[in-house]
Structure 1
Amino acid sequence: MNGDYENGDDELEELDEDSLHNSEALPTSRPNPIVIAASVTARGGVLWLPVAGVLALAGKKKTAKRALTAAAVAMPIGHLISLVVHRQRPPAATMPARQALPEHPDSSSFPSKHAVTAAAFGTATALDDRAAAVFVTPLVLLVAYSRLRTRVHWPTDVLGGLAIGAVVALAQTGMGRSARVRATSRRLVAMVRPSS
């Protein structure tokens, strides 16, 4: 059983390494300033504050609130998972792509906390307002790509982060709906009681 797990882990690492080789999608050169800005501003979830502000100004306050809540819940979950899963960052310290970032993270590589937060915000937005998602989704994808392009994460770190963030947003939506159903049920019961 252990042998199977180790083989699977080795295959995953091999897939990660192969996908990070110099290519048109992920060259080792310095990234476009927009990619760098996406990575830097998304640190700690800061990017999503002005995005939520824009949504609120556009009359989508409820969507902005739900998206920010999902991101706020997802971020510590990502950090907790990284404390359990100890994974080294890609060995790219000398690459111009990595040197483009002012940060030099040494925490566990899995999951990408940038991706976790971005996916939670984006998924919550999409679940609440499809029109808003057209604006937010490209930003989510840009942040996720920036973590690969700047070589601070393996592809599976980013994919895992996106999945975790999406699950958090879905769970939040499910809990919200359950609470609304319970509140509606209580109101209906309260309306029926006086007449019985």
Structure 2
Amino acid sequence: MRGGDHRLTRRMAAWDSAWTRRLLPPVEEAAEHTKLWWAAAVITAAGGGWRGRRAAAAGVAGMAVAELSNGVAKQLVERRRPPQEWIPHDDVEDRPDSSSFPSGHTAAGVAFTVAVAPSWPWAGAACAVPTVLVALERVHSGAHYPSDVAVGAAIGVAAAGLVRVAPRILIRPVG
């Protein structure tokens, strides 16, 4: 598995098309510090009435659970970022110093998107596009291996699921 992870990282980092040079750097900038998802929450809440407010609240809650879970996972698993010599472009200089495993950007994006979707499917579908772009960008920039992104996505799905079922569990009558 490690060999495939390494080969896929090198292949994705070597993408040199016009769309990757134009699209992925702004996506990365927007995703820093979850700015993209906070903006999506504001737009969803402001433009979607009660459904939008409910979707935005679920998305923010999912993102918060994912961020907490991802932070714990990063403390438990120390993994170096992909080697700089594998990354043939300048984005490699901007990589974080923290553990590569798992991808927090991906966890937050997937959690937000998956948590929004049950309340407002169209908003969830709209959020899926930048979520996928963020995941691709994390490997292209050399910040993560594909397996880091996959585990980040799994954390995001689990966080969104927890946000969805937690109210039912907490409000359930005893007895």
The TM-score normalised by the length of structure 2 is: 0.87
Structure 2 spans left out of the alignment, 5+ residues = none
1:52 is matched by which residue type in structure 2?
A
Q: Report the structure, 1 or 2, having the larger helix content.
A: 2
Partner of 2:141: 150
Residues 78 and 100 of structure 2 are in contact (CA less than 8 Å); yes or no, is this contact kept in structure 1? yes
- Corresponding residue to 2:75 among 73, 76, 83: 83
Q: CA deviation at 1:176?
A: 1.9
Partner of 2:14: 27
Q: CA deviation at 1:29?
A: 4.0
Give the superposed CA RMSD. Answer: 2.1
- Corresponding residue to 2:42 among 49, 53, 56: 53
Partner of 2:165: 174
Partner of 2:99: 108
When residues 101 and 129 of structure 1 are mapped into structure 2, their CA distance, relative to the original with a 3 A threshold, is farther
Residues 29 and 96 of structure 1 are in contact (CA less than 8 Å); yes or no, is this contact kept in structure 2? no
1:130 aligns with 2:117: no
Identity of aligned residues (%): 27
Residues 28 and 95 of structure 1 are in contact (CA less than 8 Å); yes or no, is this contact kept in structure 2? no
Task: Give me the whole-angstrom Cα distance separating, in 1, the residues matched to 2:79 and 2:137.
Answer: 19
Higher RCO structure, 1 or 2 (CA under 8 Å, sep 6+): 2
Spell out the pairing of 1:156-195 with structure 2 (5 A cutoff).
156-180=147-171, 182=172
Point out the structure with max Rg over C-alpha: 1
Q: Give the aligned length.
A: 169
Q: CA deviation at 1:179?
A: 3.7
Q: CA deviation at 1:90?
A: 0.5
Residues 103 and 151 of structure 2 are in contact (CA less than 8 Å); yes or no, is this contact kept in structure 1? yes
Task: Give me the whole-angstrom Cα distance separating, in 2, the residues matched to 1:92 and 1:128.
Answer: 42
1:37 aligns with 2:29: no
Structure 1 spans left out of the alignment, 5+ residues = 1-11, 187-196
1:127 is matched by which residue type in structure 2?
P
Provide runs of 4+ in structure 1 moved above 6 Å.
none
1:43 is matched by which residue type in structure 2?
E
Q: CA deviation at 1:45?
A: 1.2
When residues 172 and 28 of structure 1 are mapped into structure 2, their CA distance, relative to the original with a 3 A threshold, is same
Partner of 1:71: 63
Residues 28 and 96 of structure 1 are in contact (CA less than 8 Å); yes or no, is this contact kept in structure 2? no
1:18 is matched by which residue type in structure 2?
R
